[in-house]
Amino acid sequence: MIIERAYLHPAPGEEDAWPWNVACVRALVEEGLRFTAPVTFVVGENGSGKSTLVEALAEGFGLDSWGGSHDWRYASHRAKSVLGERIRFDGAPGGRRMLGNWHARTGFFLRAETALDALDREGFGPDSLSHGEGFLAAFRGKFLRPGLYVLDEPEAALSFASCLELIGHIHQLTENGGQVICATHSPLLTALPGADIVEVGEHGMRRVSWDELELVDHWRRYLADPRSYLRHILD
């Protein structure tokens, strides 16, 4: 693992303004977020702040907020967000050298909206590959070395079978010393054995098991009886 804990502090007077008033950000200020496994999934409804959280973690580590690796910057040269500027890390034993030496850092931020552009700029987005195939090509060729890999809804481009392949790549990456933090809506990805699952929402942040996830419960009930959901929308 690379990092054991993330935390941040607002300036006086900022506490009631966005993004400090987002529940999961408040929790990060009040308690910090500990990482207890090589893979952490961040799960929550749209608008819960999970993408805001993982983007801040990526920026704080030195990864471009629009996607890419530590040694590459997006064409827009966006400035860091206020959270990315303020976030701090406690290093795990295997990651302290990386955190203490900017040039020793390794990692990648993969976000769905800009993934193809980022991968193409780094040589992993050839025109002959589909969106999903480009994602997997990046994992096969880029996500190999120990480092921090932050993913924002990678399942957006992937089929069921490709999600299963992604699970295998994530497992291999962590076996090689990498750490993965992934925001997701996928019950497939979050089923990875040994992964930590952090659910964000109005409650802030809490650790849950896979069986306790609302998204798992909803998918089970929907697949068992789609009409029980669709009748509220179509009727």
The owner of tokens 């890999």 is 149
pLDDT at 104 over 70: yes
The pLDDT confidence band at residue 39, using thresholds 50, 70 and 90, is very high
29 and 38 Cβ atoms separated by less than 8 Å: no
DSSP single-letter state for residue 68: E
Q: Which residue has the higher pLDDT, 62 or 116?
A: 62
The pLDDT confidence band at residue 135, using thresholds 50, 70 and 90, is confident
The pLDDT confidence band at residue 141, using thresholds 50, 70 and 90, is confident
Quote the CA–CA distance of 233 and 216 in Å, as a whole number: 20
Q: What's the confidence (pLDDT) of residue 133?
A: 76
129 and 36 Cβ atoms separated by less than 8 Å: no
pLDDT at 63 over 90: no
Task: Judge residue 101's burial from the number of C-beta atoms within 10 Å of its C-beta, 0-12 exposed, 13-18 middle, 19 or more buried.
Answer: exposed
pLDDT digits (tens, 9 = 90+) for 152-197: 998 988 899 999 999 999 999 999 999 999 999 999 999 999 999 9
Quote the CA–CA distance of 131 and 5 in Å, as a whole number: 33
Mean pLDDT calculated for residue range 76-103: 85
User: So where are the chain's domains?
Assistant: 3-209
Quote the CA–CA distance of 207 and 20 in Å, as a whole number: 21
Domain at 3-209, CATH class: alpha beta
